[in-house]
């Protein structure tokens, strides 16, 4: 009997030791969160992921390379980008990379679906407003003269070639390229074996996988009128989020707010929406639709979002009292404002 007790004690001690070893092993080897931020696209881009301890620098550089590549191809502020070459060569075909073609095809598709509320040929207007450094309002005559140069139907794609058919038409992919860069970076990290992470670029977010503890990524959206408040939203299964708001790039002139989200129909900042957040499958679609729903406004914008599969929307609208917030049915009861 005594030998049996000693044997049981040894077994229990061995089991206890094994559990301690396994616990220490799991704590020691549990993947830690790695994060890095850099300025690209004139905005802060943040890359976060778990694991990959041995190749973190390589993986991070790979993610940021996607943003550098997209910026070099699609920035309207770079004279040698493919987008600038197209805009400055009216009537002439320009051979483009598959990345630029992908974005232009999707941009034109959404321009058609949204009835021009999103229009990738709005570049002449954004250049006229120059929200990065302007503190004055362009004259009515200036805006009116440029409206005729905004027409996505005059953007033509054929295979790997692109052209514009109106003198003065300027492409601006600011509402699409950043989201595409996020998607591109996520795809590269996933292909490299990174199982979970999150990339955020100036309001465009996409995450993949779950945290090592099995919990979901928590997403909070900035409140458009209360800088210290945010909107917390449950995980609804759509892993790309983008926000367009009148508080991102703006200036105040004679008590009136002028922001960078222009209505392609009028050439002026769109009102009365103050913020729109979109959930979608890809960051590019979310980015584009955030602009379109903002321009369409609460009623038409939410109708559009409701008509689309795998899309949800949260819209803040200005009122005499301040603001009101409405959402698509898929978000009802699944968000709250945290002060």
- Rounded CA separation 88/162 (Å): 12
- Rounded CA separation 200/120 (Å): 22
What b/e sequence results for 33-62 when a residue is b if at least 16 CB atoms lie within 10 Å of its CB, and e otherwise?
ebebeeebbeeebebbbbbbeeebeebbeb
pTM: 0.89
Residue 111 falls in which region: left (phi positive, over 0), alpha (psi -120 to 50) or beta: alpha
The label of the residue with tokens 């960078």 reads: 260
Local structure of residue 154 (DSSP, 8 states): G
Residue 123 corresponds to which tokens in the numbers above? 């570049």
> Is residue 194 included in any domain, yes or no?
no
Same domain, 39 and 157: yes
> Is residue 4 included in any domain, yes or no?
no
Same domain, 119 and 57: yes
Candidate from 30-34, 57-61, 169-173, 257-261 with smallest mean pLDDT? 30-34
Overall number of domains in the chain? 2
Same domain, 332 and 240: yes
DSSP 78-95: -TTSHHHHHHTSTTS-EE
Same domain, 45 and 159: yes
- What is the per-residue pLDDT for 134? 67
> Is residue 158 included in any domain, yes or no?
yes
Q: Is 228 exposed, middle or buried (0-12, 13-18, 19+ CB in 10 A)?
A: exposed
- What is the per-residue pLDDT for 214? 83
Local structure of residue 34 (DSSP, 8 states): E
Say whether pLDDT at 328 is over 70.
yes
- 149 pLDDT band (50/70/90 cuts)? very high
Same domain, 155 and 245: no
Closest-CA residue to 86 (of 65, 68, 104): 104
Same domain, 222 and 156: no
**Length of the chain, in residues:** 339
> Is residue 152 included in any domain, yes or no?
yes
Bond into 196 cis (ω within 30):
no
> Is residue 174 included in any domain, yes or no?
no
- What is the per-residue pLDDT for 48? 95
Residue-number span of the structural domain to which 311 is assigned: 218-338
Q: What mean pLDDT comes out for the span 52-70?
A: 92
> Is residue 296 included in any domain, yes or no?
yes
Same domain, 43 and 139: yes
- What is the per-residue pLDDT for 17? 31
Q: How many percent of the chain have pLDDT more than 70?
A: 91
- 29 pLDDT band (50/70/90 cuts)? low
C-alpha distances out from residue 139 to 125, 129, 131, Å: 12, 10, 15
**For residue range 111-135, what is the model confidence (pLDDT) as tens digits?**
999 999 999 999 999 999 988 776 6
Domain boundary, last residue among 144, 164, 184: 164
- What's the N-to-C CA distance of the chain in angstroms? 66
- What is the per-residue pLDDT for 325? 95
Q: What mean pLDDT comes out for the span 247-268?
A: 93
Domain boundary, last residue among 123, 139, 164: 164
Which CATH number belongs to the domain containing residue 287 in this structure?
A: 3.10.520.10
- What is the per-residue pLDDT for 3? 44
**For residue range 71-123, what is the model confidence (pLDDT) as tens digits?**
999 999 999 999 999 999 999 999 999 999 999 999 999 999 999 999 999 99
Domain boundary, last residue among 164, 182, 199: 164
Same domain, 228 and 149: no
Higher-scoring residue by pLDDT: 41, 50: 50
Q: How many percent of the chain have pLDDT more than 90?
A: 76
**For residue range 292-320, what is the model confidence (pLDDT) as tens digits?**
999 999 999 999 999 999 999 999 999 99
- Rounded CA separation 62/184 (Å): 10
Closest-CA residue to 82 (of 103, 67, 97, 65): 97
Mean predicted lDDT score pLDDT of the chain: 89
The neighbouring-strand residues paired with 240 are: 206, 280
**What's the Rg (C-alpha) of the chain?**
24
> Is residue 73 included in any domain, yes or no?
yes
- Rounded CA separation 263/278 (Å): 18
Candidate from 52-66, 98-112, 280-294 with smallest mean pLDDT? 52-66
- Rounded CA separation 139/326 (Å): 34
Listed in sequence order, the DSSP H helices in the chain are: 2-29, 56-74, 82-87, 98-113, 123-129, 140-147, 177-191, 283-296, 298-307
Contacts of 281 (CB under 8 A, 6+ apart): 238, 239, 240, 310
Same domain, 154 and 230: no
Q: What mean pLDDT comes out for the span 177-185?
A: 98
> Is residue 320 included in any domain, yes or no?
yes
Q: What mean pLDDT comes out for the span 219-227?
A: 89
């Amino acid at each position: 009997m005594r030998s049996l007790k000693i044997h049981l004690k040894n077994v229990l001690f061995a089991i206890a030791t094994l559990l301690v070893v396994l616990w220490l092993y799991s704590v020691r080897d549990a993947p830690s969160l790695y994060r890095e931020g850099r300025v690209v696209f004139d905005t802060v881009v943040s890359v976060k992921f778990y694991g990959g301890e041995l190749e973190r620098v390589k993986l991070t550089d790979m993610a940021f390379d996607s943003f550098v590549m997209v910026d070099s191809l699609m920035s309207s502020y770079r004279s040698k980008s493919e987008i600038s070459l197209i805009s400055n060569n009216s009537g002439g075909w320009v051979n483009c990379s598959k990345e630029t073609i992908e974005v232009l095809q999707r941009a034109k598709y959404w321009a058609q679906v949204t009835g021009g509320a999103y229009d990738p040929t709005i570049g002449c207007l954004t250049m006229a407003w120059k929200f990065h450094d302007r503190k004055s309002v362009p004259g009515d005559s200036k805006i009116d003269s440029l409206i005729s140069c905004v027409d996505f139907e005059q953007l033509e794609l054929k295979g790997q070639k692109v052209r514009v058919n109106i003198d003065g038409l300027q492409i601006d992919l600011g509402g699409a390229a950043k989201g595409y860069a996020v998607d591109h970076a996520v795809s590269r990290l996933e292909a490299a074996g990174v199982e979970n992470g999150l990339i955020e670029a100036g309001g465009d977010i996409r995450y993949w996988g779950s945290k090592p503890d099995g919990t979901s990524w928590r997403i909070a959206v900035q409140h458009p009128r209360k800088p210290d408040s945010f909107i917390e939203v449950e995980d609804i299964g759509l892993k790309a989020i983008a926000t367009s708001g009148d508080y991102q790039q703006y200036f105040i002139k004679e008590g009136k707010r002028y922001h960078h989200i222009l209505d392609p129909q009028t050439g002026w900042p769109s009102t009365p929406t103050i913020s729109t957040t979109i959930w979608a499958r890809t960051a590019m679609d979310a980015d584009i639709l955030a602009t379109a729903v903002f321009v369409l406004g609460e009623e038409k914008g939410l109708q559009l979002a409701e008509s689309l599969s795998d899309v949800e929307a949260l819209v803040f609208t200005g009122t005499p009292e301040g603001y009101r917030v409405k959402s698509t049915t898929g978000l009802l009861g699944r968000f709250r404002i945290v002060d």
